[in-house]
Structure 1
Amino acid sequence: MSEATVPHLGSLPSRLVRLYGGLALYGLGVGLQVRSGLGNDPWDAFHQGLAGRLGVSIGTVIIGVGALVMLLWIPLRQRPGLGTVSNVILLGLFADAALFVLPASGHWALSWLYLGLAIVSIALATVLYIGAGMGPGPRDGLMTGLARLGVSLRLGRFLIEIAVLAVGWLLGGTVGIGTLVFALAIGPLTQLFARRFPLT
């Protein structure tokens, strides 16, 4: 979502709080879901699998993949904003920080608690981030860019996420019941938070 399409964005300081608060919360959500061990969302299954193969942190891969995805924006004529660049640089750092401080889950109850908190965190983070109106994340921008070429946004998102999920699973990323729960819950929960935290 571009700044031009977001009504009543509010003052610049409040938008920056939404942007960076949203990115920090999203990074926390990534860490929680990875630590749950129940299954990651498609992109993070890919990030985790690639990180394991390369011997680097998942945050490093998130940053690298985000930068590479932005290169795909060039033929799609997508324009990055401050939020886009901040996403590329900071999201991986926040995810690594969360993974550093969160203890591993040693019990099924803690795993499910982590998963539930992860979904809530990512849903709220998405609303905060979009509400800032400072440009989409690199992965979202890829899908909206394809939509401008005539590809259905829903179909484009489905195909991309199925592809990265499959590759992530083949690389050793964690795919499981948590992946399914995330897929079913993230949309409705994001809509709920969008009503509770309007863009004004």
Structure 2
Amino acid sequence: MFLKIKNVPYVWWSSEKPLNFKPKISTFFYLCFGLTLFGLGEGLLIVSFTGASPWSVLAQGISLNVDLSIGTITFLISIGVLFLWIFLDQKPGIGTILNALIISVMIDLCIKFVPTPSDFIYQLILAICSVVLVGIGGGIYLVANLGPGPRDGLMIGLQKKTNLPIALVRALLEITVVTIGWYLGGIVGIGTLLFAIGIGPCVALGLYLVDKLFN
């Protein structure tokens, strides 16, 4: 099933190569659509007030020590992660740049305009929906093959080096990052746990669904 997926599928709207600065309109549309869902999910998880995603926990922890927004810190973390690509033979593309920009903007927009539900049950439902959104969005934009985002490039590079399932590699990454973020003072809650455990399977599910729908 989808939990055993080890490769990003190729569909009719996928770019033939990541370094493509003139992609088809359909490829560019699905790239931006996937990234918007991804960023929306990240932002909604923070808004749910059940604990942010592991990478957002890291951004929160850092933001407590510097005078910058979580969205801005998220962007700077993305740039930092790109340097790790040197050791993983990953190739950037316009998707890599748009990933950092769109997700950062969507996080700040959600924090500014989306209210936190007053009831814990609705907060929990919002947290679950946010994890699914991030996973599905991640699957869509990765299939566009216009370059993975910094964090997803790290995931794919590590998967190629270890040959472990994508779901497992992503889970190990998230657990490591949330530990560092928590140590720096980031908010950790049940939503963080849901994300750390669920994001790997949700990304794999997103890849699986796109493959089945478009192949």
TM-score range, shorter chain: 0.7 to 0.9
Are residue 9 (structure 1) and residue 22 (structure 2) matched? no
Partner of 1:186: 199
Aligned residues: 196
The Cα RMSD (Å) is: 2.5
Residue 157 of structure 1 and its aligned partner are, at CA, apart by 4.2
* Counterpart-to-counterpart distance in 1, 2:187 and 2:155: 24
Task: Decide whether aligned partners of structure 1 residues 42 and 192 sit closer, same or farther in structure 2, where only a CA change above 3 A counts.
Answer: same
Answer whether contact 2:139 2:205 (CA < 8 A) is retained: no
1:128-176 CA-partner distances (Å, limit 9, x unpaired): 112212111111212333445x445457545533321111001121212
For 1:21-32, list aligned pairs within 5 A.
21-32=33-44
1:101-148 CA-partner distances (Å, limit 9, x unpaired): 111333213312321221221122112112212111111212333445
* Counterpart-to-counterpart distance in 2, 1:136 and 1:88: 10
The farther-off stretch of 30-39 and 47-56 is 47-56
Residue 192 of structure 1 and its aligned partner are, at CA, apart by 4.2
Q: Give identity over the alignment, percent.
A: 36
The farther-off stretch of 59-68 and 76-85 is 76-85
Structure 1 residue runs without a partner (length 5+):
none
Residue 190 of structure 1 and its aligned partner are, at CA, apart by 4.0
Are residue 167 (structure 1) and residue 180 (structure 2) matched? yes
Answer whether contact 1:47 1:61 (CA < 8 A) is retained: yes
Residue 61 of structure 1 and its aligned partner are, at CA, apart by 0.9
TM-score, normalization: structure 2?
0.78
For 1:111-122, list aligned pairs within 5 A.
111-122=123-134
Answer whether contact 2:57 2:187 (CA < 8 A) is retained: yes
The farther-off stretch of 69-78 and 130-139 is 69-78
2:86 pairs, out of 68, 74, 99, with 74
TM-score, normalization: structure 1?
0.84
Structure 2 residue runs without a partner (length 5+):
1-7, 15-22
Task: Decide whether aligned partners of structure 1 residues 82 and 7 sit closer, same or farther in structure 2, where only a CA change above 3 A counts.
Answer: same
Answer whether contact 2:92 2:148 (CA < 8 A) is retained: yes
